[in-house]
Amino acid sequence: MAEQKVAIDSTRRSAPQILEQVANNGREELARSTHALAFSGVAGGLTMGLTGLSVSIVHATLGPGQLQAFISHLVYPLGFIAVIIGRAQLFTENTLYPVILVLDEHRHLLNMLRLWAVVFVSNVFGALLFAGLAVRTTALRPEYAQQLMNLGTTALDSTTSHIFWSGVIGGWLIALVAWMVSASHWTIGQITIVWMVTFIVGLGHFAHCIATSGEILAAVVGGQTSPGAYAHWIVFATLGNIVGGVTIVSLLNYGQVKAGENE
pLDDT score recorded for residue 226 = 97
Residue 223's region, left for phi above 0, alpha for psi from -120 to 50, else beta, is: left
Q: What is the rounded distance in angstroms from the CA atom of residue 141 to the CA atom of residue 246? A: 40
Cα distances (Å, whole numbers) of residue 72 to 49, 89, 205, 213: 15, 26, 13, 19
Beta carbons within 10 angstroms of residue 255's beta carbon:
11
CATH of domain 13-257: 1.20.1080.10
pLDDT tens, residue by residue, 142-165:
999 999 999 999 999 999 999 999
Cβ–Cβ < 8 Å for 207, 82: no
pLDDT tens, residue by residue, 119-128:
999 999 999 9
* In the chain, domain spans: 13-257
pLDDT score recorded for residue 50 = 97
Nearest partner of 232 among 172, 169, 171, 167, judged by Cα: 167
What is the band of 262 on the pLDDT scale with cuts at 50, 70, 90?
Answer: low
pLDDT score recorded for residue 236 = 98
pLDDT tens, residue by residue, 160-174:
999 999 999 999 999
